[in-house]
Amino acid sequence: MKLGIMQPYFIPYLGYWQLLNAVDKYVVYDDVNFIKGGWVNRNRILLNGEPRYINIQMEGASAYKLINEIGVTDNKKIFNKELRVIEAAYYKAPNFEEGYSMMKEIFECGETNLASFLFLSIQKICEYLGVETEIILSSKMDKDCTLKGQDKVISICKLLNADTYYNAIGGKELYSKEAFIKEGIELKFLRCGNISYKQVGDGFVPNLSILDVIMSNSREEISALLGEYELI
């Protein structure tokens, strides 16, 4: 069984979904510390040919709190402002109606807990992409919470009977293949391919939110893009 583990990010880039789609089970780390300036509460879309952040307005955010201890401001004015930015950015995109409708559902979900909001958004996007991987919240697992880093990942792999663990390429310096092999687990790193597609306007800006991919590509084209990666 192939397993992946990642924090819940807000409409993350294509590589996140490639990893999620490549595994059999996927654990969402909702009970780890929030990192300011990361991707948990924001991501980038394309507006007038330039990257532009869209955000989740949070309540009580702190690096001393777990992601699932932080709130989301349930304010229609704030959500509508972000939706207007999305509309301005993508109203000429070929799949604007579907992409906008999906984001409207996410913003209007009514969840006031950050982890729950993000988990719902991940489920909604998986549904759109046709990704059927089983997704598990880390906070719901009966695991050893004293473990950290690599030891914690190996422990979760063993708890779920995974024989293969997939990690994003960015974690290559954090994990040892030998340590995983010693526990009967194969460690593989997923590297997103050299992705390119027709965006709104001229040129191409890489590594934007999955929303940019959804707005710019058909479901069939996205399905092909999900397979454009290599395992190391």
* CA gap 22, 25 in Å, rounded: 9
pLDDT of residue 126: 98
Contact 222, 214 (CB under 8 A): yes
Tell me the pTM: 0.96
pLDDT of residue 143: 93
- What interhelical angle do 114-129 and 14-22 show, nearest 10? 80
Range of the domain at 101: 2-231
- What interhelical angle do 96-107 and 76-90 show, nearest 10? 170
pLDDT of residue 194: 96
What's the total number of domains in the chain?
A: 1
Per-residue pLDDT at 193 exceeds 90: yes
Per-residue pLDDT at 175 exceeds 90: yes
Per-residue pLDDT at 120 exceeds 90: yes
User: CB burial class (10 A; 0-12, 13-18, 19+) of residue 227?
Assistant: exposed
50-106: per-residue pLDDT in tens? 999 999 999 999 999 999 999 999 888 999 999 999 999 999 999 999 999 999 999
